[in-house]
């Protein structure tokens, strides 16, 4: 039996959830990963409102295995500026005082843990933000003490949040991603160490954010077999040619001068066969959740073809018997 196939609604939050659910169900998906913005999921919803949400999903024969609160999570550790105002609820932004924003974001993430438990889903995907991402290039020189302080800041702000997740028996899955405290293998390892491998903390694996950095996504899976709590299926095309580089050149997504660009699943450079085999090795049987981002095509086409592609790539784990066992002589 293959894994459930779901769609992350973050890039569909401009549409009412009922409209999204109807279309995604017609495509043949098994469920939705609900974004905590738009009308898709409210972390302050009452028990009766959550019941209505489930009724909406079940009315379309859809399940839900995770909710996601990337935007609020980003503000917990970030250096706050005007960019955050556009992604945060007004109640979290408030007067925009940076420390106030960070503290309100932390409380909202605790509430997200409680809401996930009340809704009955085991995983919340999201971001953490980072006070040291802007120092990644090390010029002007960033000292060891500066980097240590960044991980200490993450520890101090996130441990109380993670304790609330553990209390509610919900996991938090960080999407390893540029601008987060963990953006590659080395920083993911240090992030786990910073919080003493907190049992509520793991990763939402997304290969697209690793590949353009030069990291083999399957190696990430093998490195952290016990910490892959959820999987995003997203593709990326690397287009460096001696003129275009990997840092984006301060160009918006969709600009042909960029050195890499997100692609609809199956249209980029991610080796999903290799990834599925790695997921089988670690025993991951959770959903493959499409996060559709492709500036060059319609998202409805992308949703349909992404599902077809993933279904063709998913592999039923082997029985444990070697493929050549049938060649052996029978006694």
Output b/e per residue, 12-45; b: 16+ Cβ within 10 A: bbeeebeebbebbbebebbbbbbbbbbebbbbee
> In the structure, what pLDDT confidence band is assigned to residue 259 with cuts at 50, 70 and 90?
very high
Q: Using an 8 Å Cβ cutoff, are 228 and 205 in contact? A: yes
* Token pair of 62 as six digits: 């859809």
Cross-strand partners of 235: 263
Indicate the pTM of the whole model. Answer: 0.95
DSSP calls for 151-214? HHHHHHHHHHHHHHHHHTT-EEEEE--TTSS--SHHHHHHHHHHTTS-TTEEEEE-THHHHTTT
The whole-angstrom separation of Cα 264 and Cα 155 is 35
Q: What is the mean pLDDT of the chain?
A: 95
Q: Where are the domains of the chain?
A: 5-327
Query: Alpha carbon of 131 to those of 42, 134, 173, 219, 302: distances in Å?
Result: 27, 7, 19, 27, 35
Q: Which CATH class is domain 5-327?
A: alpha beta
Which tokens hold the place of 27?
A: 């495509």
pLDDT value of residue 326: 56
The Cα–Cα gap between 267 and 237 comes to 8
Distance CA 210, CA 214 (A): 7
* Alpha carbon of residue 22 to chain centroid: 23
**pLDDT reported for residue 316:** 81
Convert the pLDDT of each residue in 209-241 to its tens digit.
Answer: 999 999 999 999 999 999 999 999 999 999 999
Structure tokens at 158: 């996130």
Task: Inform me whether the pLDDT recorded for 282 exceeds 50.
Answer: yes
Kindly tell me if the per-residue pLDDT of 80 is higher than 70.
yes
Q: What is the pLDDT of residues 89-103, one digit of tens each?
A: 999 999 999 999 999
The alpha-helical segments, DSSP class H, found in the chain are 17-27, 47-59, 70-77, 82-85, 90-93, 98-119, 144-167, 185-194, 208-211, 217-223, 272-282, 299-313
């Amino acid at each position: 039996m293959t894994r459930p196939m779901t769609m992350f609604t973050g890039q569909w939050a401009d549409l009412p959830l009922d409209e999204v659910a109807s279309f995604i169900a017609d495509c043949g998906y098994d469920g939705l990963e609900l974004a905590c913005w738009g009308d898709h999921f409210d972390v302050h919803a009452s028990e009766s409102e959550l019941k209505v949400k489930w009724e909406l999903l079940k009315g379309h024969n859809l399940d839900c295995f995770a909710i996601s609160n990337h935007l609020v999570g980003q503000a917990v550790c970030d250096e706050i500026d005007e960019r955050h105002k556009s992604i945060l609820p007004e109640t979290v932004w408030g007067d925009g005082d940076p420390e106030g924003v960070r503290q309100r974001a932390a409380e909202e993430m605790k509430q997200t843990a409680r809401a996930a438990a009340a809704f009955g889903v085991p995983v919340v995907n999201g971001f953490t933000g980072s006070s040291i991402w802007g120092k990644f290039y090390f010029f002007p020189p960033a000292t060891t003490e500066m980097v240590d302080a960044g991980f200490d800041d993450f520890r101090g702000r996130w441990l109380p949040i993670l304790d609330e997740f553990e209390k509610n028996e919900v996991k938090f899955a960080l999407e390893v991603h540029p601008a987060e405290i963990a953006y590659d293998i080395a920083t993911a390892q240090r992030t786990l160490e910073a919080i003493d491998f907190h049992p509520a903390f793991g990763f939402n694996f997304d290969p697209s954010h690793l590949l353009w950095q030069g990291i083999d996504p399957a190696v990430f899976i093998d490195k952290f077999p016990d910490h892959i709590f959820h999987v995003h299926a997203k593709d990326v095309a690397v287009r460096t040619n001696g003129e275009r580089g990997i840092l984006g050149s301060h160009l918006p997504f969709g600009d042909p001068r960029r050195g890499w660009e997100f692609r609809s699943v199956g249209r980029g450079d991610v080796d999903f066969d290799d990834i599925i085999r790695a997921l089988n090795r670690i025993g991951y049987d959770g959903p493959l959740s499409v996060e559709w981002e492709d500036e060059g095509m319609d998202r409805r086409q992308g949703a349909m073809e992404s599902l077809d592609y993933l279904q063709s790539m998913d592999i039923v784990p082997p029985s444990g018997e070697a493929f050549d066992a049938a060649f052996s002589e029978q006694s």
